Structure 1
C-alpha cells in the first residue's frame, strides 16, 4: 500500500523516536577542537600549495564542468590526473570519477550481473555492498579476513562469473586485507579481483602509492583487475579514480552509469591532483612518524585494559560496551577540545571511537585522549 504524506511522516517520526531511545540517532554538527576523526591524514586540505593549485584550476577551467565527460564535460585536466595517478600507483591506466562511493557503486554494478557471484568480506564498506545490490549478482559474505572460509565458498560456487572484493585497509577497524592470498585465490579460481585502497593511498608505500602497491610491487599490479582510490582522504581533495587496464577503462567509459550519466567533477580539482601527489610523495617521514604514533597509541590503549583490536594502520578503533557509553565519551572529549566521533550500529557491530592519527597528531594529544577515556 502506498503511503500518503501524513502516513509517511507518522512512520518517520516513530522511526526517529526509536533511534533516539536506542542512542542511534544521528545529527549534523560543525566539528570543533583537535581533529581526531577526519580522513585528512596528512593535513593537505589546508596546504598552501594545494590551495594555490586549486585557484589556478578555477581560473583556467571555471567553477564547473557543465556536463558528463561523454557529452561536453571532458577536459585535459582529467587526462593529466588519470595519467599521474596511474604512474604513481603502478596501474596501466585509470578512470576519474566524482567520489569513492560512485567509484565502487558504478564499477561493481557495471561488471557484475545476475549471472555473477560476488564474494565480499563481511566488513566491506557500504558503497561496495550497495554496488553488489544494484548489480543483481548473488552476494556471498566471507568471514572478515578469513581466507579459508573464502576458499570454501569459492569451491562450492556453481557460477562461472566470480568476483572477489575487499578493502585493503578497513575503514572502521584499521586492519589489513591479505592481498597476496586474495590474489592467489583470484588466479586459482579464475575470479575477478577488486580492491578498495581508499585508506591505503597516501599512507603506505615508499612514495605513498598505497597498500596494494606496497604489497604487490609494480610487477604484479596488473594482476588486480580493478583498484579504487580516493582523493578525498590523504590527498586533501575530493574525487576518486579506478585503476585498471586499458580495456577495463574503455569498458567502464562505455558501461559505467555513474560515469556516463553524471556531470563531470570540477576540472579545477583534477588540475590540483598532480600537485597533491607531489606533496604526498615528499612526506615519507610524516607517514612513518604517524604510523609509529599509531603503534604507541595502541599499546597505551591495551595498558588501560581496552580490548585489543586488529588495527595496524593510522585508523585506531577504541571499542565500547554500549552506544550510550561511547556517546558519553565522545562528548567528554569534545568538551575538552578533542573532536573524535562515536561510530555506532549499523555502521559497525561494536560501538567505538574511531581515532584517525594524522601527521600533526602529537603524543601529548594522544596522552590527553587516553586520560579522558573511562575505565571499564
Structure 2
C-alpha cells in the first residue's frame, strides 16, 4: 500500500499544499477565520445574498413545510413542488424553454456531456475550461479536443474537419481564475454553422452579468429563439447565495439530459428548502440592480488603486479580480502578509492556474464598501513597498 507522506512533503516544498480554514458564523465581508476577524475577499457570494433576510425567511418557511431532506432521487419521489416551481422560474428568468435542477455545478458538468455524447463523438473544450467540464468530457467516452483559449477561428477550423455525428463545444462563460469572458455570440455562430451543441458554464456570470443579472448569454445577446443548440448551465451557490445548479435550453435536449444524466438520476434530490431559497434569490437578483452597480464601482476603484504596483491586475468586467504575482512562494507570501493585516485573499497556484501565473484571486461582493477596498489597496501597496 502506497504511503503518501513523501508526496505530501513534496507538495509542501513546492508551496502547493492546500490548507482548510475554519470559518465561524455567517458569510459576509468580514469573517471569523480560525478565531481571527478577517476582511474577506475570497467568497463567491458576489451579490451578498447568502444572508439576505428574504432568502433566509423562505428557507425557514420551507423547512417548516417540507422538512430538511428530499429523501429520494428526483426520478423516484424527490422532485417536489418547490423544485418544479424553481425550474419553471429558472427557465423564465434565463429566457429558455426548460430548466433542470441539479444538486451542484460539478454534477451538472459531469452529467451533461455523458448524456449527450459517447464513443465516436467529439467534444471540444476551451483550454481554460473548468475542471468539471474536463472531467465530464473524459467520462463521456467521446474524443476530447482542446482549442486555444477564446480562439473561435481555431475552433472553426477543427470543427470543419470533424466527421463525428455528434459534436459538443464546452466553455466557461466567465473564466473563474482570469475573470475574462468567452465570446459567446461568436461561439454560438460557429457551432450553428457546424452542427455542434454549445454548453456554456456560467457559474460566475449568472446573477452578475446581463440585464437584471440574467447571465452571460443575455449579456452577449444570445437568445434561445435563435440559438436552440445552446445549453446554459448556471450555479446557485455563488451570486444567488444558496446551493445547487441547473441546465436550461431546448426542451427536448433538457428532457434527454434528465433521462440520461447519471449524476441527476442516481443522486438524492436537493432539499426542497434550498429550492425555495433559490426561488427567493431569483426575485432579489432581478430587483436589486444596485448590487451589480456596486460591483462595477468597486472593481473600478481597485483597478485605479493598484495601477502602479509590480503585480498585474487582469482586466475583468466581473467580481473576479485576479492579481498576477508569478511564482508560487511569493504569491503565498503575499497572501500571508495580508492575513497578518487581517485581510483574507487566497493565493491560487498551479495546477489550478498555469505555471508561473500564481495569483491572488480577489473576489468582490456587493456588500463590500469603498472603505473595505481601500483597506485592501493600502495593504497591497504596503506589501509592495509603494508609497501611499
| C-alpha RMSD over aligned residues | 1.6
The answer for the alignment partner of 1:327 in structure 2 is 332
For the 8 Å contact 1:179–1:215, the answer to whether it is kept is: yes
> Does 1:22 find its partner at 2:14?
yes
Question: Which one of the candidate residues 242, 249, 259 is aligned to 2:264?
Answer: 259
Offset of 1:162 from its aligned partner? Answer: 1.6
Offset of 1:305 from its aligned partner? Answer: 3.7
Task: Spell out the pairing of 1:135-284 with structure 2 (5 A cutoff).
Answer: 135-216=140-221, 218=223, 220=225, 222-284=227-289
For the 8 Å contact 2:184–2:222, the answer to whether it is kept is: no
CA distance in 1, matches of 2:218, 2:131: 24
CA distance in 2, matches of 1:183, 1:129: 20
Question: Which one of the candidate residues 352, 355, 372 is aligned to 1:365?
Answer: 372
Offset of 1:371 from its aligned partner? Answer: 2.5
SS in structure 2 opposite 1:320? Answer: strand
The answer for the alignment partner of 1:351 in structure 2 is 358
For structure 2, the 5+ residue unaligned runs are 24-32
CA distance in 1, matches of 2:132, 2:119: 19
The answer for the alignment partner of 1:72 in structure 2 is 77
The answer for the alignment partner of 2:55 in structure 1 is 50
Task: Spell out the pairing of 1:31-42 with structure 2 (5 A cutoff).
Answer: 31=23, 32=33, 33-42=38-47
CA offsets, 1:343-369, max 9 Å, x none? 111111121110111102222222222
CA offsets, 1:104-134, max 9 Å, x none? 1111111111111111110010000000010
Greater alpha carbon shift after TM alignment, 151-160 vs 231-240: 151-160
TM-score normalized with structure 2 length: 0.91
Offset of 1:308 from its aligned partner? Answer: 4.8
The answer for the alignment partner of 2:26 in structure 1 is none
The answer for the alignment partner of 1:4 in structure 2 is none
SS in structure 1 opposite 2:149? Answer: coil
TM-score normalized with structure 1 length: 0.94
CA distance in 2, matches of 1:168, 1:361: 24
CA distance in 1, matches of 2:250, 2:360: 38
Offset of 1:214 from its aligned partner? Answer: 2.1
Offset of 1:142 from its aligned partner? Answer: 0.9
Q: 1:224 to 1:299 in 2, by over 3 A?
A: farther
For the 8 Å contact 2:98–2:251, the answer to whether it is kept is: yes
CA distance in 2, matches of 1:23, 1:99: 30
For structure 1, the 5+ residue unaligned runs are 1-6
The answer for the alignment partner of 1:297 in structure 2 is 302
CA distance in 2, matches of 1:15, 1:252: 39
Question: Which one of the candidate residues 356, 364, 384 is aligned to 1:375?
Answer: 384
